[in-house]
Amino acid sequence: MAKVILIASGKGGVGKSTTAVGLAYALGRLEKKVLIIDLDTGLGCDDILCFRSDSSVFNWGDVVTGSVECSKALIDCSGGVKLLSAPQKIPEGFSYDTLASFIRGLAAAFDFVLLDAPAGLGTMVQTAAASSDYAILVATPDPVSVKAACTLVGDCERLGIGESRLVINRFIYKEVRHGRQMNIDAVIDSATARLIGIIPEDDMLRCGIVTGSRLGVKSKARQAFNRIAARVCGFSVEIRLSQLK
Ligand SMILES: Nc1ncnc2c1ncn2[C@@H]1O[C@H](COP(=O)(O)OP(=O)(O)OP(=O)(O)O)[C@@H](O)[C@H]1O
Ligand SMILES: [Mg+2]
């Protein structure tokens, strides 16, 4: 049975989708079977980040409303990763309860199901939270994003998610050294969640290249995703800022 992981943030645009896709491929490299479900109706972009926008014909909206079979909507992204794209709008006759049981039903066929949520704590995120074992909250190292993450930590507790972990994205070592970016201790203290990884600012990620050969083995971002994947699988991997220089 898969571990279902909600990937959420208080503030938008901080790197949830980037983290979901990067982590999915890193888990795939660990031989895990992974499903990404893009829950960002209207704004979903995981098919683009997985270079599969051409294959994205059906979406989970078509499946939960009974229009197509799930096998037709599942996109094979290679590397052990499959994707269910988000519908452009909430389908007619849609019920959040159906989505929740659909997510739980899919968990049997995978090692990990990653739920790429929209920002904030709307009904979609609350539904996803109720179906999740674990939350990864993404924040950038700035006071607004960290405050929003802190609020979400409390919300996840209230929604009964067993554990929440923090990913700090867009970290720039030089900026921290010069006092222009919040340092890691300050972020963790303010967000009040345990850290599971730090993803550096990366030119490739900025261009939407989260996977594929252009994010080569020497990429610090790819190495960061690998370390987060190992921690998610229960391995003890030290967090060292020197890896992010
Ligand atoms: N580590 C990074 N280095 C450089 N750019 C990044 C990094 N992470 C994310 N980005 C950039 O930030 C943009 C927003 O990232 P992403 O779409 O993953 O955020 P999001 O939290 O999913 O947004 P939304 O709230 O709209 O769903 C991306 O288009 C990408 O260009
Ligand atoms: Mg997103």
Three-state SS across 115-178?
A: EECCCCCCHHHHHHHHCCCEEEEEECCCHHHHHHHHHHHHHHHHCCCCEEEEEEEEECHHHHHC
Which amino acid is located at 19 in the chain? T
Pairing status of strand 163-171 against strand 194-200: parallel
CATH code where residue 26 lies: 3.40.50.300
> Average pLDDT of 215-242?
92
Total count of domains within the chain = 1
Residues with CB under 5 A from ligand 2 (ion): 16-17
Q: For ligand 1, is residue 219 a contact (CB within 6 Å)?
A: no
For a pocket test of ligand 1, which of 206, 207, 219 has the largest count of ligand atoms closer than 8 A to its C-beta?
206
Q: For ligand 1, is residue 17 a contact (CB within 6 Å)?
A: yes
pLDDT tens per residue, range 121-161: 899 999 999 889 999 999 999 999 999 998 999 899 888 88
Mean pLDDT is lowest, of 24-33, 91-100, 131-140, for 91-100
Residues 6+ apart with CB under 8 A from 113: 2, 3, 4, 5, 34, 35, 37, 103, 106, 107
Q: For ligand 1, is residue 13 a contact (CB within 6 Å)?
A: yes
Q: How far is CA 102 from the centre of its chain?
A: 19
pLDDT tens per residue, range 31-82: 999 999 999 998 989 999 999 998 889 999 999 999 999 999 999 998 999 9
Closest ligand to C-alpha of residue 145 is: 1
- What pLDDT does 34 receive? 98
Which domain, by its residues, includes 135? 3-244
Q: Which atom of ligand 1 is nearest to the CA of 201?
A: 3
Q: What is the pTM of this model?
A: 0.96
- What pLDDT does 48 receive? 94
- What pLDDT does 132 receive? 93
For a pocket test of ligand 1, which of 11, 14, 18, 37 has the largest count of ligand atoms closer than 8 A to its C-beta?
18
Report how far ligand 2's centroid is from the alpha carbon of 172 (Å).
21
Q: Which atom of ligand 1 is nearest to the CA of 118?
A: 27
- What pLDDT does 56 receive? 80
Q: What is the crossing angle of helices 143-158 and 184-191, to 10°?
A: 40
pLDDT tens per residue, range 159-215: 888 889 999 999 998 998 888 888 888 888 888 889 999 999 999 999 999 998 778
